[in-house]
Homo-oligomer: A and B are copies of this chain.
């Protein structure tokens, strides 16, 4: 049974396990430094579908299927799915997962969705509300570009602070077992908006939320950055990561020695022309579900704070002159109970 130790932080008493995980990515991600860790690399990012949106849906479905297969389970064993994505009305999730016939709670957390969904399903598992549950999310460069920015054919110039939306999906199956990775705690983020309005600089918009959530978790648990091998943010990229480190330094918290960011890990920033790094729900999801959970399973990483970050704006809010609210949800993962 979970124990709430503050307004924001919940300790998971039984420490549920991530029983299995799978990550499916596109061609560009498959050419990056994490290539050998992904379960599937799709050289054709249409996945044989007629539209990119249908391709993204198929990625979510395939990620869940692969994770189930690795756990030797079928969709009939699943009792609950938490899922969401960036597309209007979250159609990647709804259409991708509709055939599974599994109880389904849809989420919207923008690029924080992997931490939101993993946190929720872990809380459910900790309170014996599911035996097997799943969390999944995705993003696709082509669906995101045309929804949020410009027709791909336009070939617009990208700002140096802009990030590259990851084509990828990550899924986890959570339940009880005696094998790591274990989920030890969850911190639920608050919406933080410091007034950033530059949609070509999402990292700056989300960094304050990440700082708030990380600071809250460390305070709530009376721990220090040095107690963790890795504090891994979702997709702040290079610009947002620097800002995060600076923001926390103002509070006398130095995470610089243990911080990394999924948006920096997924691409080779020197050679892959992605400017400030990767972004999108699929960025944190595919890095977590390929590389990070594997390293925790192996005991190479012992204590990881996974902090996926989301920018909660839309093209409409931008056109109406609004700033960009950020949110960051945290999950503490460990190789021991």
Q: Residues of A at under 8 Å CB distance from B?
A: 1-2, 4, 7-8, 10, 50-51, 53-54, 79-80, 84, 86-91, 94-95, 97-98, 100-110, 116, 120, 123, 127-130, 147, 188-193, 312-317, 320, 322, 325, 327, 329
User: Do the beta carbons of B191 and A97 come within 8 Å of each other?
Assistant: yes
Cα A192 to Cα B100 in complex, Å, equals 10
Q: A94-B191, A104-B189, A106-B312 are in contact. Are A10 and B88 (CB under 8 A)?
A: no
Contact of A4 among B79, B102, B116, B191 (CB under 8 A): B79
Are A89 and B91 in contact, CB atoms less than 8 angstroms apart? no
| Partner pick for A105 among B80, B95, B100, B120, CB 8 A cutoff | B120
Residues in chain B near residue A105, CB distance under 8 A? 107, 109, 116, 120, 188, 329
Most B CB atoms within 10 A — which of A87, A88, A327? A88
Q: Please indicate the chain B residues that have their CB under 8 angstroms from the CB of A189 in the complex.
A: 103-104
- Shortest Cβ distance from residue A74 to the other chain B in the assembled complex, whole angstroms: 13
Within the complex, the shortest CB–CB distance from A127 to chain B, in Å, comes to: 5
Nearest B-chain residue to A51, judged by Cβ: B320
B53 touches A129 (CB 8 A): no
A110 to chain B, nearest CB (A): 7
Query: Within 8 Å CB of A103, what residues of B?
Result: 7-8, 188-190
The answer to whether A129 and B84 touch across the interface, beta carbons within 8 angstroms, is: no
Shortest CB–CB separation between residue A128 and chain B, in angstroms?
7
Choose from B88, B314, B322 the contact partner of A315 (Cβ within 8 Å).
Answer: B88
CA distance A50 to B319 in the complex (A): 12
| A97 / chain B contacts, CB cutoff of 8 Å | 191
Q: How far is the CA of A301 from the CA of B314 in the complex (A)?
A: 41
A79, B2: Cα distance in complex, Å:
15
Decide: A312 near B107, CB < 8 A? Known: A1-B127, A188-B80, A320-B54.
Answer: no
Is A91 a contact of B313 with CB atoms below 8 Å? yes
Inter-chain contact A2/B53, CB cutoff 8 Å: no
Asked if residues A91 and B317 are in contact (CB atoms below 8 Å), the reply is: yes
Residues of B within 8 A of A108 (CB): 84, 89-90, 106-108
**Partner of A53 from B53, B312, B317 at Cβ < 8 Å:** B317
B107 touches A107 (CB 8 A): yes
Q: Are the CB atoms of A1 and B4 closer together than 8 Å?
A: no
